[in-house]
A and B are shown apart, each in its own frame.
Chain A
Amino acid sequence: MSLISFEKVTLGYEGQPVVKDLTFEVNKGDYLCVLGQNGSGKSTMMKALLGFLAPMSGRITRDPKLKNAIGYLPQQEPAQSDFPASVYEVVLSGCQNRKGFFPFYNKADRALCEEKMALLGIADIAGRSFKDLSGGQKQRALLARALCAAGDLLLLDEPAAALDPVAAEELYVLVRALHKKGMTVIMISHDPERAIRDATHILHLGQEMLYFGPTADYDRPAILKRERGEIT
């Protein structure tokens, strides 16, 4: 059974469809890259993936074990620039979803948090203030937080958008390494070359589904032509 499957799903707000007729599925171990221009429905689809938005028509099926086991890296920077929080506190908050109504973290949560920080190479800055970090360090901390929350699936919404090329490259390498270790990844990306290099599957949106399938069969020039034809 696939982790997530969309069947003829149309998504939108207040009766206005944003993206139509999505049919695709994500299986364990996939690395799906979602491409498309601004306004093509990528972020709307992400909301539906997370369960924030019910489909206007069609059906979305989620593997029940995904409940509270999705590691999400939101697009916007969290909080305001003056928010006082140590890196450790931020990463630890990723354990929140497995706590349910129990209010406090235990030893296992702290161990998990330290393990993920070590994995992403930020153990040495655990005590630093999140707001003082560089863009790349911030994304690492948020990725570590997402990993604390993720059992099986990592959802990344344009994780490299605010990064310089070096930091972006580092982040992509990290994500690829996580995928190699068995993590299922869905990433919205603005960087098609990167996507084609790393991802196993591509989903290209432009108000409707322009392409879904393995990366090897993705004929980018043809899709772009279709995309332009649609929009102009």
Chain B
Amino acid sequence: MNALTAPPLYDLILDFGGARVIFSFKILVGVIAPIILKALAVGLLTSVCAAMLGVPLVLKRYSMIGDGLSHTGFFAVAVAAACGAASGAQIYITLPLVIAVAVVLLLLSESGKFKGDSAIAMICTGAVALGYIIFSLSSKGTGDVCSSLFGTAILALNMDDVAVSSVLAVGVIVVFVTLYNKIFSVTFDPAFSKSAGAPVKTVNVLLAVLTAVTVVVGMKMIGSIMISALVVFPALAAMRVSKSFKGVIIVSACLSAVCFLVGLFFATVVKFQFRSGGFADVQIPVGPSVVCVNVVALIVCILVRKVKTARAKKKAAN
């Protein structure tokens, strides 16, 4: 390798013959740095929201609500696109739609007319089918469909997107923290909370609304198919390593933020080249990258828990 073909500064290349992995740190200071900063701001806030909400949702056995809502989100985006809303304005249509469905979903599953999971399955599939029909009829390209399913838009956010998403996400965090004690009480023991005069139903509805907001904001970055991963994985992982409710929520939020950072790193800084592809640069998309890092984090937490309990048993045996 001579100086002429040497890679630019900041690049680190691992060459495996048929495949190369390139760490292209220069993008962090280059022209696309602002793009990454925007993604970082929205992504971190959304990850934290989803992870905090995930704890009560998982514990209430509501984790599929995230899924139901995100599929509704797909439908809502289709409606917004068909109405001709620009991508930045779509949120004014998707947000109220998804919130409405969240409340209906919650009331449906609580009324006992449908079990929670079948109510969600109905809404999920129905919404996706309708959404795709609307996309087709309004002859928006498959690009829109792909973007709202898999969230390819996070690296194409404009300042308006960032502002709206940040305000919503911060709002969700503030409401969650304010309601924290009530959420604990209602999630832990609804019968006792009701006897103590806690507004059980209101808290449940608020949880659903917060989830709806998070899903709508998160869809942009990670896509409607995968957004519930952000709700479920950090919560499940945190439950393996912390004993108290507060501990689980804090661990969940921090873990989710770290996973997002790592996921974004692999999707932006790291490039791959394969001989079969003529050594052209390829990259992994942000959403799946973040989700996979979350999967790994959960596995690590499960292992940590296994080691801990094994040690405790050993200690007890001695």
Contact = CB atoms under 8 A, between A and B. Distances in A.
Q: Do A and B come from one complex?
A: yes
Interface in B169-190: 178-182, 184-185, 187-189
A94 B242 CA distance: 22
A128 B191 contact: no
B247 interface: yes
Contacts of B184: 85, 89, 93
B278 interface: no
B59 interface: yes
Interface string A58-81: 000000000110101110101110
Given A78-B189, A89-B246, A90-B188, A97 B59 contact: no
A13 interface: no
Most chain B CB within a 10 A radius of its CB, from A52, A97, A105: A97
B4 interface: no
Interface residues of B, number: 28
A140 to B, nearest CB: 15
Contacts, number: 94
A96 B188 contact: no
Contacts of A142: 192
B180 A103 contact: yes
A70 B197 CA distance: 10
A145 B192 contact: yes
A9 B248 CA distance: 46
B188 A78 contact: yes
B189 A79 contact: yes
Interface string A80-116: 1011111011100110110100011100000000000
A86 B181 contact: no
Interface string B173-215: 0000011111011011101111111100000000000000000
Contact of B245 (A73, A76, A89, A99): A89
B133 to A, nearest CB: 39
B243 interface: yes
Among B189, B196, B239, B243, find the residue whose CB has the most chain A CB atoms closer than 10 A: B196
B111 interface: no
B195 A70 contact: yes
B5 interface: no
Contacts of B182: 96, 103
Contacts of B197: 67-68, 97
Contact of B192 (A74, A86, A128): A74
A82 to B, nearest CB: 7
A84 B257 CA distance: 21
A93 B243 contact: no
Interface of B: 59, 61, 178-182, 184-185, 187-189, 191-198, 239, 242-248
Given A84-B239, A85-B188, A103-B179, 17 more contacts: A67-B197, A68-B197, A78-B189, A78-B191, A79-B59, A82-B239, A84-B243, A84-B245, A85-B245, A86-B244, A93-B184, A96-B193, A103-B180, A127-B243, A128-B243, A145-B192, A146-B192
User: 5 closest pairs, A vs B, by CB?
Assistant: A78-B189, A97-B196, A72-B195, A86-B244, A129-B243
5 contacts: A79-B187, A82-B239, A84-B243, A96-B182, A129-B243
